[in-house]
């Protein structure tokens, strides 16, 4: 068993194009995991191994690999940056102990950086910051660090200063040891060489070191005392205090480099080992017993009973279903029986694999802290808990956003239809943000996802990986319905056709709720008015009826239904009758309560050169956009606006043609708002 203290489970997270995959590729090269450096532009990146990732030059699925640096073992997960694949980041952060957030030296914090930062906050993941692309035109280290403070309200602590910037970027000054390191010119990966700190930077470096110690001292009494007394503080003491403050999320150490030119990666790896947590540093993992009424804790070591969380399921053409699992406590052997607490079933572990992106190595045992792939599990999905058969625990599950966009897809032939059913089932199994249903009227399959790119990629994968010939319809927006007022209605279902009849009588009051509340059912009557055995069917009838609203058949949200009256028949009443009566009452009450349609509104951020600002704003105005803010930044304008999703189709193409390809944009779901009423 490897020393847990020397194990790191980390991920690289960032905005799209900040250089996460490039950083990961360099890490794999310098740790000896790969012998040739992969490049995204050439389609040879180890971590982007799906054909579609190579072509588009973006990461779509999170990939896992293992590496070792000095005497540390590092499990690495490279995650996507595009907002459409946010579920991949969410589920990776759920099982990681620490993360490296990659920022771009020119732009600093970008929209998706904010999203992944919030996700990391939610899971309380300690982070290091890496300011990448220091060799780019317009690189500005101080500006990038400043955006971390301003936009993320975080406390970054500068641990290194870059030597030069843009084409002059040569290396870095380590403020902890007050040593300078430079790299050979050219693009060959080289070890950093220690040199004297350049004279013109000495005063700046001394001041920066003083600032660094002061920030760290604020989190540690011992260091603070020595700092105030002007006593010598040893490097070990600073390291220890930095590590503790990083684990407590009080500070975020900042490093710099250029992954593409191989600069700064060695020091980043040292920092991962020095400052990010081992499984031993984390509090015990918490779950509940199988009844869900008692909290169960497990220490993260091998002596505890086994508990693991499946965080990703993928279909592999060689071995079938691969389930990525984080082992939290205990250990498990290939061939062991385990209990799936989520679905209350005993299952058997087939084979255990250590993953290196798409390559794999078979292992016999997985221990606490490991991230492994399991082969041979049936009926398993993302977020299922596996535990020891006699010591069961249910770990906290993961939540994923609802889809906002759908496309109709139909196979070109009967043979393709069967293949498509298999393909969609597998893809929905892999991706918790992908949903599908069959349109009852047209018989078409409808796929719902997180955005245009997400659905594009899914359709592309159906055609390529599963060799399905299919026609795809135009994207459709996922609208919702809700009500403005409170209203009541009675629903009576009576059928008499000889023999036993059907009788159900329900009166419901419906009330509007705050956005995001979902559907709530309550009863204001007593069991004397209506036997309590009928409350369940009444709730079921309301929730089923809410799946299609009264305005245009969209799902109804944010409504409370209250059972205020009802009557039953000793012989004829049944659960089915009450379900139907409840559905009738709900539909009628909705008609009276001023129902209206909600549409998804995106927060869009457009970065454009100043000379195209007028064109960009004019185009946004034509899309019913509400501009929230405009910020100038080094010859560019950053426009933030709320834009209805229905108005954003093909926006990428229009923006490119309006700005000769020089502007870029990102968008993510912000809220739902009332849709405008269309004239008949």
Give the pLDDT confidence of 279-296 residue by residue, as tens digits.
Answer: 889 888 888 887 767 888
Quick: pLDDT tens for 538-595: 999 999 999 988 998 889 999 999 999 998 888 888 889 999 999 999 999 999 999 9
Sign of CA dihedral 67, 72, 77, 82: negative
List CB contacts of 447: < 8 A, sequence separation 6 or more: 406, 407, 409, 424, 434, 435, 436, 455, 458, 459
What separation, in Å, do the N-terminal and C-terminal C-alpha atoms of the chain show? 71
Quick: pLDDT tens for 459-481: 888 888 888 888 888 888 888 99
Q: Is residue 47 packed enough to be buried (19+ CB in 10 Å), middle (13-18) or exposed (0-12)?
A: buried
Are 652 and 665 in contact by the 8 Å Cβ rule? The answer is: yes
Q: CA–CA distance from 503 to each of 409, 415, 524 (Å)? A: 42, 47, 21
**pLDDT band per the 50, 70, 90 thresholds, residue 78:** low
Residue 354: which region, alpha, beta or left (left: phi > 0; alpha: psi -120 to 50)? beta
Q: Report H helices in 431-501.
A: 452-464
SS3 (DSSP) at 167: helix
Q: Say how many C-beta atoms besides its own lie within 10 A of residue 600's C-beta.
A: 22
Quick: pLDDT tens for 396-435: 877 777 787 888 888 888 888 888 888 888 888 778 888 8
Q: Say how many C-beta atoms besides its own lie within 10 A of residue 510's C-beta.
A: 26
Q: Does residue 298 carry a pLDDT above 80?
A: yes
Region 262-280: what's the mean pLDDT? 93
Q: Does residue 51 carry a pLDDT above 70?
A: no
- CA dist 85 and 217 (Å) reads 39
Q: Say which residue, 671 or 451, is predicted with more confidence.
A: 671
* pLDDT reported for residue 47: 45
The full set of domains in the chain, from first to last, is: 4-199+251-281 (3.40.50.300), 297-395 (2.40.30.10), 405-474 (3.30.70.870), 481-593 (3.30.230.10), 598-674 (3.30.70.240)
Tokens of 337: 């029986």
Quick: pLDDT tens for 300-354: 888 899 999 988 887 766 777 788 889 999 999 999 999 999 889 999 998 898 8
- CA dist 99 and 130 (Å) reads 10
* pLDDT reported for residue 679: 46
pTM attached to this predicted model: 0.74
Strands annotated E in 28-88: 63-69, 72-78
Region 146-172: what's the mean pLDDT? 93
Region 104-119: what's the mean pLDDT? 84
């Amino acid at each position: 068993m490897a020393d847990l203290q020397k194990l790191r489970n980390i991920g690289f997270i960032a905005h799209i194009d900040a250089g996460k995959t490039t950083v990961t590729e360099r890490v794999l090269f310098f740790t000896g995991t790969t012998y040739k450096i992969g490049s995204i532009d050439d389609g040879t990146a180890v971590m982007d191994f799906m054909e579609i990732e190579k072509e588009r030059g973006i990461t779509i699925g999170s990939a896992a690999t293992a590496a070792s640096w000095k005497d540390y073992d590092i499990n690495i997960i490279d995650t996507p940056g595009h907002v459409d694949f946010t579920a991949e980041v969410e589920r990776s952060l759920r099982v990681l102990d620490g993360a490296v957030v990659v920022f771009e030296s020119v732009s600093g914090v970008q929209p998706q950086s904010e999203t992944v930062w919030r996700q990391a906050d939610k899971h309380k993941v300690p982070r290091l910051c890496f300011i990448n692309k220091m060799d780019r035109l317009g690189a500005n280290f101080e500006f990038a660090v400043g955006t971390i403070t301003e936009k993320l309200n975080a406390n970054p602590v500068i641990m290194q200063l870059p030597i030069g910037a843009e084409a002059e970027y040569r290396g870095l000054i380590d403020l902890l040891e007050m040593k300078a390191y430079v790299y050979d010119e050219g693009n060959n990966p080289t070890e950093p060489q220690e040199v004297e700190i350049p004279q013109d930077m000495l005063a700046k470096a001394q001041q920066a070191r003083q600032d660094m110690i002061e920030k760290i001292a604020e989190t540690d009494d011992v260091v603070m005392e020595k700092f105030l007394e002007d006593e010598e503080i040893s490097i070990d003491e600073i390291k220890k205090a930095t590590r503790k403050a990083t684990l407590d999320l009080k500070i975020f150490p900042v490093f710099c480099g250029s992954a593409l030119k191989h600069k700064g990666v060695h020091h980043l790896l040292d920092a991962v080992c020095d400052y990010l947590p081992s499984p031993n540093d984390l509090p015990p993992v918490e779950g509940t017993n199988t009844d869900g009424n008692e909290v169960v804790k497990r220490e993260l070591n091998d002596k505890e009973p086994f508990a693991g969380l499946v965080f990703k399921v993928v279909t592999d053409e060689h071995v079938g279903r691969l389930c990525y699992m984080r082992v939290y406590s205990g250990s498990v052997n290939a061939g062991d029986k385990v209990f799936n607490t989520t679905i209350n079933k005993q299952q058997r572990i087939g084979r255990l694999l250590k993953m290196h992106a798409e390559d794999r190595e078979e292992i016999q045992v997985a221990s606490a802290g490991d991230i492994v792939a399991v082969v041979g599990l049936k009926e398993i999905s993302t977020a299922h808990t596996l535990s020891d058969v006699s010591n069961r625990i249910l770990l906290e599950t993961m939540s994923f956003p609802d889809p906002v966009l759908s496309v109709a897809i139909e196979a070109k032939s009967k043979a393709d239809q069967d293949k498509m059913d298999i393909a969609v089932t597998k893809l929905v199994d892999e991706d918790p943000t992908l949903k599908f249903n069959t349109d009852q009227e047209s018989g078409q399959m409808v796929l719902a996802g997180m955005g245009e790119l997400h659905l594009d990629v899914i359709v592309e994968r159906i055609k390529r990986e599963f060799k399905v010939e299919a026609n795809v319809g135009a994207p459709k927006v996922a609208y919702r319905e809700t009500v403005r007022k409170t209203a009541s209605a009675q629903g009576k279902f009576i059928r008499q056709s000889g023999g036993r009849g059907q009788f159900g009588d329900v009166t419901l009051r419906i009330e509007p709720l705050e956005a995001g509340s979902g559907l709530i059912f309550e009863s204001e009557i007593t069991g004397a008015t209506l036997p309590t055995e009928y409350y369940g069917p009444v709730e079921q009838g309301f929730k089923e009826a809410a799946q299609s609203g009264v305005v245009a058949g969209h799902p109804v949200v944010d409504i409370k239904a209250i059972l205020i009256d009802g009557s039953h028949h000793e012989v004829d009443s049944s659960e089915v009758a009450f379900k139907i009566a409840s559905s009738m009452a709900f539909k009628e009450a909705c008609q009276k309560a001023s129902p209206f349609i909600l549409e998804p509104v995106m927060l869009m951020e457009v970065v454009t050169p100043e000379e195209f600002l007028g064109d960009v704003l004019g185009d946004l105005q034509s899309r019913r956009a509400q501009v929230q803010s405009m910020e100038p930044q080094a010859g560019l304008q950053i426009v933030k606006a709320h834009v209805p999703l229905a108005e954003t189709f093909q926006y990428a193409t229009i923006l490119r043609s309006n700005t000769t390809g020089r502007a870029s944009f990102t968008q993510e779901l912000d809220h739902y708002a009332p849709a405008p009423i269309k004239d008949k």
